[in-house]
A and B are shown apart, each in its own frame.
Chain A
Amino acid sequence: MNIRLGAVVLCLLMPALALAGEYDLTVDRVEIDTGDFVKQGIGYNGKSPGPVLRFKEGETVRINVTNNLDEMTSIHWHGLILPYQQDGVPGISFPGIKPGETFTYEFPIQQAGTYWFHSHSGFQEPDGAYGAIVIEPEGREPFRYDREYVVQLTDKHPHSGDRIMRNLKMMPDYYNRKQQTVGEFFSDSSEQGFWNTVRDRLAWGDMRMMKADVEDLQGFTGLINGKGPEQNWTGLFEPGERIRLRFINSSAMTYFDVRTPGLDMTVVQADGNNVQPVTVDEFRIGVAETYDVIVRPRDEQAYTIFAESMGRSGYARATLAPEEGMEAAVPPLREPARLTMADMGNMHGMDHGNMDMGSSDDMAGMDHSSMSGMDHSGMSGMDHGSMMMDNQAQNDPFYARGSGLVPTAANGGKFLSYADLRAQNPLYEEREPTREIELRLTGNMERYSWSINGVKYEEADPIRLQYGERVRFKFVNETMMTHPMHLHGMWSILDVGAGQWNPIKHTINVNPGTTVYMETEVDEPGQWAFHCHLSYHAAAGMFRKVIVEGGPDSQQAKTEAMAEDGGEA
């Protein structure tokens, strides 16, 4: 009865809404063949990745999810704005879907763009339980294209998620095969001088941190739409067509640097929201992010889509071609990235004088004093000049100055920065935030423990927000790893210093040694997950529950009932 009433009201609200799409998904054990190895995994409708779900803005969707596993499962609709009970996080949205059970999700589609879905139970997502969502907008889009493809990336590893987590806890460098060697000591010595190299190694050794700690999880095969580099997923085109590529990074742990040699890419959407078009040669896609780009191949030839992992330990590759079977050159992997002292934050006694970095003071919202919680007493008086990277004139304010992670385009051209992103249409009116919440991203690589404000999820109280407020979140990255922070249920407005044109996202990368701000209009009641989207960081404790208190009357009562719930309250 209630559902029907709701639907009627919905129809009155949005006259265009007449459709209710019905979808069926089964969660199955599947075989995954990457071309490099074959493994057992989890998929949807018998395959990993699952199907591309195509929704229409304005419709209400019903999705029947049947669990054919012998364990609990769940599906989270990543980036979708929906009632919290439909968000699919076991223990927060709902209890989960039992083996053999069919759970019906039902929610209105209030947005358009490229999104994805994945299991939020255990390590089912890294084991293969993910798929793409494409939502067709009600209105006209501010860009044109003739054809579109989903390009869904993942880092498929031969080990199961449980095994990876256990190995990382046992030996945090278990999968790191890009560590500095004796050979690198000698090559650094000849470039930077013996004593500079010795001092450099001693400085890092003193902190017990590794310059090479860029990718926790190596040994994966990069997949695009489920195909390994040799299997070469191919999208066809007619020369002259505009092709919209919907990039989704569904990796457990891996950031990719994406390029299409020979083709400019015009970025038109980030995390499902249109951005003012920006043409780039290459972009970095963080875990769980999406970017829609438009390419226009004019020649009757094949083009490679090349996605190199940030730490250069692996890659994914696909092809755009006028005909099946054509292929273009696959570039070699570049040199592995190395962290610098800058990625450790703004340490006391550090001399930045010899770094000729452009000023980034015009960027609101950045500061680099993020390592204050660490003991750097052993670091003073060091010669940091020798440890910095070449400092190719880069100005990306979303990396620490002198960071070793700053990306550069392979062809020397334009590399997308967060600072380039501007919302096409602001979703909200610009207003002052009602308060600021600081979230320090913390961890200990040697124990492989990850936390927020030094507290793991298991010991943490929920973050309580008031319905109707606008909260400014301050992320301070005190670790040497990059963390893609994902707030469920409400938009993350990334502060790039553009005021009302700040881009609207669902996942925000916070690079080592940086502070990043985002604002959220607290406009959805209920309780939501908020976490680092690196699977093994989230599982190790970099995770929070957010409770939105207040809101419409009917929700109010429930929030109060919730407050009785023991340690959670």
Chain B
Amino acid sequence: MSGVRFSGAVSLFAFLVLPAMAAAQAMIADTSGRKQPLTTWGIQFEELEYRYSDDDEGLGVWNADAFYGTDDFKVRLLSAGEYEIEEQAYETLEHQLVGQIPVSRFFDAKAGVRFDTPEGPDRTYAVFGVTGLAPQWFEIDASLYVSKEGDTSAALDAEYELLFTNHWILTATLDATVAFSEDEDIGIGKGLVSTETGLRLSYDFIDRAVSPYFGVVHERKYGDTADLAETAAGSTEDWFAVIGARIAF
């Protein structure tokens, strides 16, 4: 027990040395960055691709989002568009600016605005929704849209990744839209509007920052929306071969 040092000895030591070393210094408050909420940002193109349809149409398509914020509040800008290369026109062009707060361990609630500015009539919507990770690793994004004209619709996006290896990843996506009222000017009928189903095989080429992929996408319109499309001599069902890259930075 000869090695036992009593804490008293330590305190005596501290008593003698401390005043000498930092006489007039009070304990400071932590105003360093560490005491601030961690702010972070990111930009991702989930899809940045060329689509070639079964009736020989070429489209440039992207689906991107950028976020900035903390664990408690994030601002997110979503951008999606489909550009018809031959006709030099945006079939769809959609931007959303939403605020996002956590509401459960795996889900955020979001609210904001959406601006659609494709070829043809524009639309402005209020957006409410949830986004997060469902059991079994399904990434879910569900939104309710209310247009300035009072038309309401809802969209569900789901995504699942299957890892063939830790670099070869098959991503399955399903986007479905339902309208609760008709908006004939933009070709939306009441009921199930459309689905877009995709399968993309990607390879993580540079970290997870650049992942080239190829795949297949199926688009289909339903019910009244399909009728409206037929009336306008548009297609109600399309298959696409796609090639592109997922980008994150």
| Tally of contact residues, B, Cβ under 8 A | 54
Q: Which chain B residues in 48-95 approach chain A with CB under 8 Å?
A: 71
Residue of B nearest to A458 (CB): B37
A413 to B153, CA, bound (A): 65
Contact between A106 and B21 (Cβ–Cβ < 8 Å)? yes
With an 8 A cutoff between CB atoms, is B30 at the interface? yes
Q: A205-221, CB under 8 A of B: which get 1 and which 0?
A: 11010000000000100
B106 to A524, Cβ gap below 8 A?
A: no
The answer to whether A377 has its CB under 8 Å from any CB of chain B is no
Q: Which of B10-38 contact A (CB under 8 A)?
A: 10-11, 13-23, 25-38
Residue contact A568 to B135, C-beta cutoff 8 Å: no
> Contact at B26–A169, with CB atoms within 8 Å?
no
- Asked whether A329 is an interface residue with its Cβ less than 8 Å from the other chain, the reply is no
Question: Residue A166 at the B interface, CB < 8 A?
Answer: yes
Q: Is A85 in contact with chain B by the CB < 8 A criterion?
A: yes
Q: Bound complex: CA of A422 vs CA of B124, how far in Å? A: 70
Q: Take A110-B13, A166-B42, A169-B38 as given contacts and tell me if A429 and B4 are in contact as well, using a CB distance cutoff of 8 Å.
A: yes
Chain A CB within 8 A of B247 CB? no
Residues of B within 8 A of A13 (CB): 13, 16
- Chain B residues whose CB sits within 8 angstroms of the CB of A187 once the complex forms: none
Which residue of the partner chain, among B20, B28, B41, contacts A91 with CB atoms under 8 Å? Answer: B28
Determine whether A372 belongs to the interface, using a CB cutoff of 8 Å to chain B.
no
Could you say which of B14, B17, B18, B137 contacts A208, with CB atoms under 8 Å apart? B137
Given contacts A86-B21, A428-B5, A547-B27, contact A444 B105 (CB under 8 A): yes
Measured between alpha carbons, how far is A202 from B136 in the docked complex, in Å?
Answer: 7
Chain B residues whose C-beta falls within 8 Å of the C-beta of A206 in the assembled complex: 135-136
Smallest CB–CB gap between B74 and chain A, Å? 10
**Interchain Cβ contacts within 8 Å, total number:** 175
| Candidates B6, B10, B16, B18; contact of A429 at CB < 8 Å | B6
Residue pair A552, B7 in contact (C-beta under 8 Å): no
Residues of B within 8 A of A458 (CB): 34-38
Nearest Cβ in chain B — how far from A373, in angstroms?
11
Bound CA span A110–B7, Å: 13
Contacts of A525 in B (CB 8 A): 14, 18
Please name all residues of chain A whose beta carbon is closer than 8 Å to the beta carbon of B38 when the two chains form the complex: 165, 169, 458, 539-541
A355 to B190, CA, bound (A): 58
A7 to chain B, nearest CB (A): 7
Known: A92-B30, A178-B166, A181-B164. A3 touches B7 (CB 8 A): no
Distance in angstroms from A483 CB to nearest chain B CB is 17
Q: Are A95 and B28 in contact (CB under 8 A)?
A: yes
A466 within 8 A of B: no
Given contacts A208-B137, A467-B11, contact A426 B4 (CB under 8 A): yes
- Give the CA-CA distance A541 to B71 in the complex, in Å: 11
B residues less than 8 Å from A364 (CB atoms): none
**Complex formed: what's the CA distance from A205 to B235 in Å?**
39
Kindly list chain A residues whose C-beta atoms are within 8 Å of the C-beta of B105.
444, 446
Give Cα A110 to B162, complex, Å: 56
Contact B32 A183 (CB under 8 A): no
Q: Is the interface of A mostly helix, strand, loop or mixed?
A: mixed
CA distance A526 to B25 in the complex (A): 11
Q: Is A561's CB within 8 Å of the partner chain B?
A: yes
Given A166-B41, A552-B14, check contact A449 B71 (CB 8 Å): yes
The reply to whether B32 and A90 form a contact with Cβ atoms under 8 Å apart is: yes
Question: A514-558: which have CB < 8 Å to B?
Answer: 521, 523-527, 539-541, 543, 545, 547, 551-552, 554-555, 558
Question: In this complex, what residue of B is CB-closest to A568?
Answer: B29
Given contacts A427-B4, A568-B30, contact A457 B35 (CB under 8 A): yes
Establish whether residues B133 and A182, one from each chain, have CB atoms under 8 Å apart when the complex forms.
no
Q: Could you say which of A179, A444, A523 contacts B14, with CB atoms under 8 Å apart?
A: A523
**Chain A residues positioned under 8 Å from B4 (CB to CB):** 425-429
Q: Measuring CB to CB, which residues of chain B are less than 8 angstroms from any residue of chain A? A: 1, 3-7, 10-11, 13-23, 25-38, 40-42, 44, 71, 102, 105-106, 133, 135-137, 162-167, 207-208, 248
7 closest Cβ pairs, A-B complex? A6-B20, A425-B3, A91-B32, A91-B30, A170-B42, A552-B15, A205-B136
Q: A86-B21, A208-B137 are in contact. List 14 more A-B contacts (CB 8 A).
A: A7-B20, A13-B16, A83-B14, A83-B17, A91-B29, A165-B38, A166-B41, A181-B164, A182-B162, A183-B165, A427-B4, A444-B105, A555-B18, A558-B25
11 contacts between A and B (CB under 8 A): A83-B17, A95-B28, A169-B42, A170-B42, A170-B44, A205-B137, A426-B1, A427-B5, A447-B102, A457-B35, A559-B27
